[in-house]
Structure 1
Amino acid sequence: MGSIVFGPKVLPDNLTEIAGYKGGLAMSIEEICDHLAGTSFPDVVRDGETSGVRLRSEEYEDLYYNLLHRIGYTRELYLGPSFEQARLFHRFEANAAELDFFMQVSTTMNHFMRIGTPSGESKTTDPSAILAEVNRVFGVAGVKIAIEMYEIINRGIRMNPHCGIGNEWINPLKLKGLFKGTDQQPEKGRFIDQRYIDYLSNNHDRIGEMHWRQFEKLTAEFYERDGYKVDLGPGSNDDGVDARVWKQDANPEDSPLCIVQCKRQKNKIEKVVVKGLHADVQFERAEYGVIVTTSELSPGAKTTISARGYDILTVERDGIKGWLTKLRTPGTGIVR
């Protein structure tokens, strides 16, 4: 493959545009370099600020795929359509009959894509006519393979770094707002923007760095999407109640299902927090309380809950990771 020559500042500017209009995050050059740590690219990007940079096409693709993965745009590192096609092939090669069936479907599908279908449909970007023909010839099993092939094609188009950026966000969101706080309202999501969720789902090590208010919003977002009604507290002067949660069919005058206390901290949660939450649960006549924390409960706090029979649940770091997996944008992983 050939090479791409970037003039001074062109490559760094290109990467900030990719992060902004593709991934939806406004990032500085240094933030981009930080997210490319462990590769050879940070030095390349910094050099590109003052001098021209020459990259082979495959090097630029690697840079592009790594950046989008590390800011949460793809759940797994994308390696290009050729790799995905090869992986699909290898899934069938161990069984001669299955491999033959796969090759027949693949050959027939490619034929229809080049010249159209026997029913008279000309070449089209709409796959429905081709899938119908594949179904007629090969049945449901053939359609499943054809759909996977189309997904690989579509993902390759969407992830192609050589065909323009393909703007997906109009207003990039400052990444530092996740850690410093921001008043910018979410474009997608009620409490916290989806872009922050996708970012954190690929950067679990930064959960503890979140701004405390963003951590509360993430908690509220999870319960909201899990089918509950949520009232997120003001963030200060809330008497220790960060969120109240009701069942979807609850009446306005009903007591909350649960009271949520969010603790984004490094130190273990002590029993004084447990006792305070239990008091809030009783006062609000809720069924139970929940402590959501980036840390964990101290032995004393755990003993207090069990010994006194408090109706208190905990969601610790691993639980939050599970939330992020559940909340991240669907369809951004690799189909296997």
Structure 2
Amino acid sequence: MGSIVWNLENCVNTILDIIVIKTGIVISEDYLIEILNHDFPNSYFENYSIRKNNAVRIRSEKFDEICWSVRKRLGELEKNSPLFIQNIDKILVWEEQGICYSSLCRKILQMMSDIYNPNNPQFIDPKPIIDQLVSENEYPIEVIVEAFKDILHNQTMSNTIKPVEEILWDGGISLSDLFEKEHIPLKEDEFIDQKFINYLQANPEKLQYMHWRNFERLTAEYFNRQDFEIELGPGSNDGGIDIRVYNTTNKEKPYIIIQCKRHKESHEVKIETVKAFYADLLFEDAEKGLIATTSKIATGGKKAISIRKYPLNYAENKEITDWVNKMSKR
């Protein structure tokens, strides 16, 4: 592979363009440089403000590595895996059976190329291609599916911005929204954007810094995905109850009431908060109460729950991180 020689500032701007479109998350140049200096210490990006007008030579494979690393840090990629074939052992078994996997992949790519209209770029529906390949009865269905998985993986890993990606790009969401203000997702059935969940899964230390209202939304989304009916409070003047969770079979009273405490990890939820929340639970006649926090419950609060047998549970930083891991998807 060859090298690219260019102005460092142009290089950074190109990386930023790729990252924003591929991840759907809009970040600042300063944050990009912070990530690059963390992941690639003592590299071209050190003292960027001073060196940005300098010329740099970057090999194309190194440029890909840089882009993959940032995309992973933003939560879009789960791992850096540039190999086209993901399960080489399975492919070798098929090759021994006389199935030419590479020929199938080339055939699929040609079929996709025949469908693609450069004058009207659109994502290609794989179903008609799969149906045709199955009807031809030349390759087993599991081989066809594996080939599509590898092709999709290759396209996902590509750092080339395709015309269809530019046309269909929705402008992305600003990462700063996660920390600075309430962000309402475009999808009505979601409480928080999936891109933010993926980002938090890749950066769990950022949970304690997210906007308190978005933490409430994250908590609501966790229970929403368990098929409960969710009532997210107004965010202020809510009487200490941020979320009401209802069983679909009984909507007369809450099954769980939740109070969310987005604190820094060093800031414990005090016993007074626990006692006050128990009073809220009695007033609501809910079956259970839950305090969800990015920090932890003070020892006195935990003892009060245990000794007085309050029907209260708590989810501390580790449990919240587990929630995020369960909700992440790519």
Deviations 1:106-145 (A, max 9, x none): 84233345468xxxxx952324433566xx577xxx5435
Instruction: Give the 5 Å matches for 1:251-266.
Output: 251=251, 254-265=252-263, 266=265
> How far did 1:18 drift?
2.3
1:114 and 1:194 map into 2 onto residues whose CA distance is 33
Q: Secondary structure at the match of 2:244?
A: strand
Amino acid corresponding to residue 93 of structure 2 in structure 1 = F
Unmatched 5+ residue regions in structure 1? 93-98, 117-121
The range that moved more, 301-310 or 316-325, is 316-325
1:106 and 1:262 map into 2 onto residues whose CA distance is 59
Q: Secondary structure at the match of 1:282?
A: helix
Q: Report if the CA contact (8 A) 1:23-1:169 is conserved.
A: no
> How far did 1:100 drift?
5.5
> How far did 1:288 drift?
0.8
> How far did 1:285 drift?
0.8
> How far did 1:21 drift?
1.9
1:179 and 1:106 map into 2 onto residues whose CA distance is 55
TM-score by length of 2: 0.82
Q: Report if the CA contact (8 A) 1:33-1:42 is conserved.
A: no
Q: Report if the CA contact (8 A) 1:112-1:123 is conserved.
A: no
In structure 2, what is the equivalent of residue 157 of structure 1?
A: 155
Matched, 1:130 2:133: yes
> How far did 1:190 drift?
2.7
The change in CA–CA distance for 1:234 and 1:43 in structure 2 (over 3 A counts) is farther
Deviating above 6 A after TM superposition, structure 1's stretches of 4 or more consecutive aligned residues are none
Of 101, 105, 109, which residue of structure 1 is paired with 2:93? 101
Q: Report if the CA contact (8 A) 1:271-1:300 is conserved.
A: yes
In structure 2, what is the equivalent of residue 187 of structure 1?
A: 186
2:18 and 2:186 map into 1 onto residues whose CA distance is 18
1:221 and 1:155 map into 2 onto residues whose CA distance is 28
In structure 1, what is the equivalent of residue 228 of structure 2?
A: 228
In structure 2, what is the equivalent of residue 49 of structure 1?
A: 52
> How far did 1:243 drift?
1.0
> How far did 1:149 drift?
3.3
> How far did 1:317 drift?
1.6
In structure 1, what is the equivalent of residue 64 of structure 2?
A: 61
In structure 1, what is the equivalent of residue 83 of structure 2?
A: 81
> How far did 1:163 drift?
5.0
Q: Paired residues, what number?
A: 306
Deviations 1:9-54 (A, max 9, x none): 3222222222322211111111112223433278534377323332
The range that moved more, 285-294 or 190-199, is 190-199
Amino acid corresponding to residue 157 of structure 1 in structure 2 = Q
2:62 and 2:227 map into 1 onto residues whose CA distance is 44
> How far did 1:275 drift?
0.9
TM-score by length of 1: 0.81
Q: Report if the CA contact (8 A) 2:274-2:301 is conserved.
A: yes
In structure 2, what is the equivalent of residue 202 of structure 1?
A: 202
Amino acid corresponding to residue 200 of structure 1 in structure 2 = L
The range that moved more, 304-313 or 145-154, is 145-154
The range that moved more, 277-286 or 164-173, is 164-173
2:3 and 2:97 map into 1 onto residues whose CA distance is 35
In structure 1, what is the equivalent of residue 240 of structure 2?
A: 240
Q: Report if the CA contact (8 A) 2:37-2:43 is conserved.
A: no
The range that moved more, 16-25 or 298-307, is 16-25
Unmatched 5+ residue regions in structure 2? 113-128
The change in CA–CA distance for 1:14 and 1:262 in structure 2 (over 3 A counts) is same
Amino acid corresponding to residue 108 of structure 1 in structure 2 = C
Q: Secondary structure at the match of 1:319?
A: helix
The range that moved more, 4-13 or 280-289, is 4-13
The change in CA–CA distance for 1:30 and 1:148 in structure 2 (over 3 A counts) is same
Instruction: Give the 5 Å matches for 1:182-331.
Output: 182=182, 184-188=183-187, 190-251=190-251, 254-265=252-263, 266=265, 267-329=267-329
In structure 2, what is the equivalent of residue 111 of structure 1?
A: 103
The change in CA–CA distance for 1:24 and 1:308 in structure 2 (over 3 A counts) is same
Q: Report if the CA contact (8 A) 1:70-1:202 is conserved.
A: yes
Amino acid corresponding to residue 80 of structure 1 in structure 2 = P
The range that moved more, 30-39 or 159-168, is 159-168
1:100 and 1:16 map into 2 onto residues whose CA distance is 39
The change in CA–CA distance for 1:110 and 1:284 in structure 2 (over 3 A counts) is same
> How far did 1:203 drift?
0.5
In structure 2, what is the equivalent of residue 29 of structure 1?
A: 29
**TM-align CA RMSD:** 2.7
